[in-house]
Amino acid sequence: METLLGGQWVAAGTWLEVHDPSDTRTPVARVPALGAADVTRAYDEAEKGFALWRRTTPFERARVFHETARLLRERAAGITDAVVTENGKTLLEAGGEVQKAADFFEYYAGLARAGYGTLVHDARPGTRTSYHHEPIGIVLAITPWNDPLLTPARKLAPALASGNAVVLKPASETPMAALHLARALHDAGLPAGVLGVVTGRGGKISAPLLDDPRVAAVTFTGSNSVGESLRSSLADRNVRFQGELGGKNATVVLADADLPAAVRAVVAAGFGQTGQRCTATSRVLVERSVYADFTGLLLDAVAALGLGSRETDTLSVGPLVSTGQRTGVLDHIARAVREGATVLAGGGTPKDEAHAHGCYVLPTVLGDVTREMAVWREEVFGPVVVVRAVDGFDEAVEEVNDSDFGLAAALFTRDLRAAHRFAEEADCGQVSINTTTTGWDVHHPFGGFRDSGSAFKEQGTEALRFYTRVKTVAFHFGA
Ligand code: NAP
């Protein structure tokens, strides 16, 4: 596939290979591996694109967005196939991702036309003062492989709706979905240069991507290690940074909870997308009196899960994104077992021929887990759920908050007081009562606290704060 630079579809001298995680034997596609000169060209083009786009009316921006959404829906079958092929999501999960990406453009099409500014009082007689939001300039968006279409859409829609130009750097494992999105925007009439897509290994083109003085803001979703190094490398420059990083999300099940509903939520949030979601439930804290009942139901549900990305069964779990990711997940399980955890389900790879060449790990449940274990504290990013008994609400909340991360947490209970206390006391950016830690709509502000995030939320109207700056204007018209 070619990539988009300056309104042209371009190739390169060298290529990045894309593999299907359900069968990694041969590459399924290739995309250009761009170099430093191409990155500089992307910024040259973005400069021209920004000059035009910032003056394009919100009505025209909205028209481009509605057409983009329409094209994404019209092309859904092909884009879904690309997401399944490069990421390993199931058909159902990938299909949902395409629809939600279209939703982002429809939602921000409306917002692009909303709110012009605010008129405020001025103590000076005969003076009218207002403030309004304006675009910040060229935004660098760096995205991971786990939602290869959705994460670019979540960033591009508010960034472009606000009048910025964007240079997008998608993950090297999954560049095809981002290129489909770029093609939809291009075909919908987005002017040349407003969006450039830089495919290529992030580690190799980091300096030209980040050091260019024309970058006004960097929005990054990915690992804590990369995110923190980007944050510190930008800290002495006046460049805005938004980081959406890892999570270690807990679901708490109190004794009065609807246990089957809690099990359904833990299975959906723990094993959906093969656990490769920043909001995945990876820790479950169960009140001791219902621990055995809950764990029994959970193990029954996990035993019913199938494997395979092209299965149409809603209970199917796809492969991990790559052999490297599979090795990392298996290492986490092995370490947990060495430290004393018990494998209650899964714990390894499937042995049948049908899954022999894919990056599969069996849906895994671990018990006898202590708070000191790495599997309790570190993000695994795979189909691994650990279960622990707790003595009551206070201990549960204390354990939920005993984490460097603060992205998502859920509580299952019928007690209104416990529910409200949890919403107040859970030190996380996304809190759910009697539902999953995952699954936030495009208009719900989204982002974590502490090591999971930054001061700026994504999604909804909140996202516009990151992509705009505020100008205050005073008009003196005389007494
Ligand atoms: P990653 O290794 O940090 O990579 C993310 C992106 O950064 C990729 O595009 C990568 O490019 C690029 N990159 C890597 N090193 C770079 C550098 N030195 N300079 C510039 N760019 C660089 O993360 P990942 O493994 O793809 O994604 C998984 C992580 O994302 C998990 O920790 C997960 O929790 C987190 N995540 C968070 C959220 C959230 O909203 N909080 C959502 C989804 C995922 P290459 O692919 O070319 O290396």
Q: Look at ligand 1, atom 35, and give the residue with the nearest C-alpha.
A: 222
DSSP letter at 245 equals -
Question: How far does the centroid of ligand 1 lie from the alpha carbon of residue 370, in Å?
Answer: 29
Q: Tell whether 231 and 256 lie within a shared domain.
A: no
Q: How many CB atoms lie within 10 A of CB 282?
A: 28
Q: Whose structure tokens read 């991507």?
A: 209
Same domain, 93 and 227: yes
Residue for token pair 């994404």 = 72
CATH of the domain at 93: 3.40.605.10
- Which residue has its alpha carbon closest to ligand 1 atom 11? 202
428 and 468 inside one domain:
no
The answer to whether the CB of 280 is under 6 A from ligand 1 is no
> What Cα–Cα distance (Å) separates residue 123 from each residue in 117, 120, 126, 130, 474?
19, 10, 9, 13, 11
Instruction: Report the separation in Å between the CA atom of 254 and the middle of ligand 1, taken as the mean of its atom positions.
Output: 35
Domain check: are 467 and 407 in the same one? no
Report CA Rg, the chain. 23
Q: Residue 312: what pLDDT?
A: 74
Query: What is the tens place of the pLDDT at every residue in 380-429?
Result: 999 999 999 999 999 999 999 999 999 999 999 999 999 999 999 999 99
Verify whether ligand 1 is closer than 6 Å to residue 243 (CB atom).
no
From 86, 146, 234, mutation site for ligand 1 pocket: most ligand atoms within 8 A of C-beta:
146
State residue 315's pLDDT score.
Answer: 82
Task: Report yes or no on 316 lying in a domain.
Answer: yes
Test site for ligand 1: of 223, 224, 230, 451, most ligand atoms within 8 A of the Cβ: 223
Catalytically annotated residues? 278
At 131, give phi and psi (nearest 5°): -135, 150
216 & 129 share domain = yes
Q: Which pLDDT score is estimated for 230?
A: 96
Residue 123 sits in the same domain as residue 29: yes
CATH assignment of the domain containing 434: 3.40.309.10
Full-prediction pTM beyond 0.75?
yes
Ligand 1 binding pocket includes 145 (Cβ within 6 Å) = yes
**Does 144 contact ligand 1 (Cβ within 6 A)?**
yes
Distance CA 214, CA 217 (A): 9
What is the structure's pLDDT at 479? 72
pLDDT of residue 206: 97
d(C-alpha 16, C-alpha 412), whole Å:
45
> Cα(229) to centroid of ligand 1, in Å?
12
Residue nearest atom 16 of ligand 1, based on CA coordinates: 202
Neighbours of 39 (CB within 10 A): 25
Question: Which residue's CA is the closest to the ligand 1 atom numbered 14?
Answer: 202
**What's the pLDDT at 268?**
97
| Residues paired with 139 in a beta bridge | 166, 217
User: Could you list the residue range(s) of the whole structural domain that residue 362 is in?
Assistant: 249-441
Q: Are residues 78 and 60 in the same domain?
A: yes
pLDDT at position 135, please? Answer: 97
Is 448 a domain residue? no
What pLDDT is stored for residue 41 in this prediction?
A: 97
Is 433 within the bounds of a domain?
yes
**Encoded tokens for 87:** 């990421």
Q: How many domains does the chain have?
A: 2
In a domain, 24, yes or no: yes
Q: Are residues 234 and 259 in the same domain?
A: no
Q: Are residues 184 and 279 in the same domain?
A: no
- Which atom of ligand 1 approaches the CA of 244 most closely? 41
- Assess whether 73 and 215 both reside in one domain: yes
Look-up of token digits 């009082």: 121
Residues of the chain with pLDDT under 70: none
Digit-coded pLDDT (tens) for 308-323: 988 777 789 999 999 9
Give every CB contact of residue 231 below 8 A, 6+ residues apart in sequence.
241, 243, 454
Q: Is residue 446 part of a domain?
A: no
